[in-house]
Amino acid sequence: MIEASVYEAKTRLSALLQAMADGEDVVITNRNRPVARLVPYEQPKQRPVFGSARQAMRHAGLTDADVARALTSDDDPLAG
């Protein structure tokens, strides 16, 4: 963890950003008291959109029974 005063953070911003890109946390202090903590950015994980498949199924004119039959059958009732 790196500590930097507000003045240091302003003058060394590029170096602090590089340190964060390398995985370091940076604490910004004002009069020796911590006021902010900067952490490296993490990409958010892709989350599924629940309900989108049901909406597509309804749009295609399929019922829950059609989908259940397709999932449990060896034949492909949706093919034809």
Sign of torsion over alpha carbons 26, 28, 29, 33: negative
Q: What is the pLDDT of residue 56?
A: 78
> Residue for token digits 């302003």?
10
Query: Which residue ranges form the domains of the chain, and what is each CATH number?
Result: 2-38 (3.40.1620.10)
Q: What is the mean pLDDT of each run of 10 residues along the chain (80 residues)?
A: 96 96 95 96 78 78 82 65
What's the CA gap between 55 and 2, in Å, rounded? 49
What's the CA gap between 41 and 22, in Å, rounded? 11
Whether 28 and 1 have beta carbons less than 8 Å apart is answered as no
> Residue for token digits 């199924």?
57
Q: What is the pLDDT of residue 65?
A: 85
Q: What is the pLDDT of residue 69?
A: 82
